[in-house]
Chains A and B, each alone.
Chain A
């Protein structure tokens, strides 16, 4: 019963949220929703201990694939979004062969190089990728009605509902994966790799699996983005965007499922709404950078540690012990 009430409250909040926002904030909400999927999928990869610099490019692979499937082959947009995710996952499997011959820092650099190669291919091959200008006139989600609500996907509220539902489902899947034996094995691959290997775990296979799943969901995020703004180009997925993803993950913290989401929400609201509304339009990079440095200095475990502190204070005495005793 309690879970049902929480679920209903979450659905009500999900539906009501955009109606309390201005038009431009609704637009930002759409991009924020997509970025939540991006950063959450990134966290799944980090569970295995590998940090990639190519995740945003992989997101772009999903965006390009979905755009091309719908534009060149006439695939129905919702199907092309799914195919975008699958394409990104398949490409990740291919990339895993060279990349997972490396670990740690070398993997980081290798993933950056792989991402740059993909971006250069988009630029070099004007057909079909559109070269430096990218692809524009990407088919939007087809409008439809469910009787009580007409979905007009030019409108950010409609797109937020659709993408929010997709992202919520993807997050649920990611959550279930993390909590499954596969997710526990991802943790083992990171923290106890020798022990895991001695227990018969194929480290490379699990790293590849995490990479493919994370890439698949990033690809879906990219596809959602492409069909909303109607245009993509190689610069939309460059390393500068990747730095934002890293900062969301680092400032939020990667110890919990909600950490990167918290980082993404707080930093996006700060950068795109608070600083703009305060009139710091041109000072935003400076202030954003300063806040980031301060948060890392004073909250090295990320924003999630603040949430954990708040909830541990509220927990009744002895509660953790009881939990541990179970």
Chain B
């Protein structure tokens, strides 16, 4: 008997009961006002430290999203309208802290959904997800595997969308024949290396050397860049380097007189890069993340509500902070809101089922399909079109939207080949 009393094991059933109780308890003083009913959403990402640039702007964007949704009446579920509130937890990109954060968000704050950056932190959270059945999202589909049934990647299919930039370069600048690449040697850098290698091979662009993998603790990029451009390549690819690396590498490329093409997954805070180099040097820099004041985002295919207004509001509140993830977590919330309203419930299972119904979903950049069995072992990544962005006249400009599935249909075998070579297939990880 005492054993039963003292046993504090958590199952999906006890989790749902305790969450319901916690939510009920938290809403008891407000029960008189239906409009005060609140759904809490967890935000579990690095808010401090070197990876904070891919967490903090996302939370800022979500706050703007929540204000807009709440002003429009909130989230409409079967039992009434709910206001939405974000609860953040800084996991410092550490799996142990991510586990603690997930526990807090689920068992203390009673959140209905948790958004993560993913990467190194997901394996720490996975046991909590398995035990509780909570629905999580990641920006890094390399976290996906057949075991991660409650994990979805609905915003970005990092790093697969990088193929669109290389494909666009090959078609629009056919004179570029050779490339080199550098990346930090970590969980974010390596799958991206495999993807760029596949994309360059598919485009007929020759790699002059093996990708130069540097330690994430690197601070002096002069020797990295010297070695990188020693073969006089047409293209320097910066892979998915953190902005702490992209900036000094671009600066070194400028200082060491590189005149060729640069392609990178991200160019967060590119205005600072222009300030450190020159507008001429940065002209034509290709990356994958647009500013949301771009006119191309006003086309009918875009599912993100009022992107220009969102961008203006973000820049008003957080000047100079717009980055790759500023809109991504908010776009995930668009999907979650639509699914919750469709299901009439915020229960993780119901929302997940509604979200994946029909195998398609409304991605920020257009209608997309749930995909990924070959690469991730599970169809939990929402994949469709992705923009290719170039810096022109000191401003990020969308050049074109390109289809990721279309590229994969033609060159999927190359991607699988390179992913396998870097042990990045789902059945090779860990």
Please list the residues of chain A having a beta carbon within 8 angstroms of any beta carbon in chain B.
Answer: 22-24, 27-28, 31, 116, 120, 123, 126, 130-137, 140, 145, 147-150, 152, 154-158, 225, 229-233, 235-236, 238-239, 272, 276, 281-282, 284-285
Distance in angstroms between the alpha carbons of A28 and B47 in the assembled complex: 19
Contact B430 A134 (CB under 8 A): yes
Q: How many residues of B contact A (CB 8 A)?
A: 42
B319 within 8 A of A: no
Q: Can you report 16 residue pairs joining A to B where beta carbons are below 8 Å apart? A: A23-B103, A24-B100, A123-B215, A137-B123, A148-B2, A149-B6, A154-B9, A229-B95, A229-B124, A230-B123, A233-B95, A233-B120, A233-B187, A236-B95, A282-B56, A285-B49
Task: From known contacts A27-B100, A229-B99, A282-B56, infer whether A150 and B9 are also in contact, taking CB-CB under 8 Å.
Answer: yes
On chain B, the residues within 8 Å of A157 by CB distance are 8
Task: From known contacts A136-B429, A155-B9, A236-B94, infer whether A285 and B48 are also in contact, taking CB-CB under 8 Å.
Answer: yes
Distance in angstroms between the alpha carbons of A123 and B185 in the assembled complex: 8
B105 CB, min distance to chain A CBs, angstroms: 9
Task: From known contacts A152-B9, A225-B96, infer whether A27 and B430 are also in contact, taking CB-CB under 8 Å.
Answer: no
**Partner pick for A24 among B103, B185, B215, B423, CB 8 A cutoff:** B103
- In the A-B complex, the 8 residue pairs with the smallest Cβ-Cβ separation, listed nearest first, are A231-B123, A24-B104, A136-B430, A136-B123, A27-B100, A132-B186, A23-B107, A133-B187
Contact B3 A132 (CB under 8 A): no
Please list the residues of chain B having a beta carbon within 8 angstroms of any beta carbon in chain A.
Answer: 2-3, 6-10, 47-49, 56, 88-90, 93-96, 99-101, 103-104, 107-108, 120, 123-124, 126-127, 131, 185-187, 189-190, 215-217, 423, 429-430
Closest to B90 in A: A281
Distance in angstroms between the alpha carbons of A236 and B123 in the assembled complex: 13
Interface of A (DSSP majority class):
helix
On chain B, the residues within 8 Å of A135 by CB distance are 430
Contact A148 B6 (CB under 8 A): yes
Contact B127 A154 (CB under 8 A): yes
Closest to B99 in A: A229
On chain B, the residues within 8 Å of A238 by CB distance are 217
A62 CB, min distance to chain B CBs, angstroms: 15
Contact A133 B101 (CB under 8 A): no
Distance in angstroms between the alpha carbons of A120 and B95 in the assembled complex: 20
Distance in angstroms between the alpha carbons of A232 and B217 in the assembled complex: 18
Task: From known contacts A123-B185, A150-B7, A231-B430, infer whether A282 and B216 are also in contact, taking CB-CB under 8 Å.
Answer: no
Closest to A149 in B: B6
B380 CB, min distance to chain A CBs, angstroms: 18
On chain A, the residues within 8 Å of B107 by CB distance are 23-24
Distance in angstroms between the alpha carbons of A116 and B218 in the assembled complex: 12
**Partner pick for B3 among A150, A155, A282, A284, CB 8 A cutoff:** A150
Distance in angstroms between the alpha carbons of A239 and B50 in the assembled complex: 14
Contact B127 A132 (CB under 8 A): no
Closest to A225 in B: B96
A320 CB, min distance to chain B CBs, angstroms: 43
Question: Max chain B CB contacts within 10 Å: which of A24, A145, A149, A150?
Answer: A24
**Partner pick for A230 among B124, B215, B216, CB 8 A cutoff:** B124
Contact A137 B103 (CB under 8 A): no
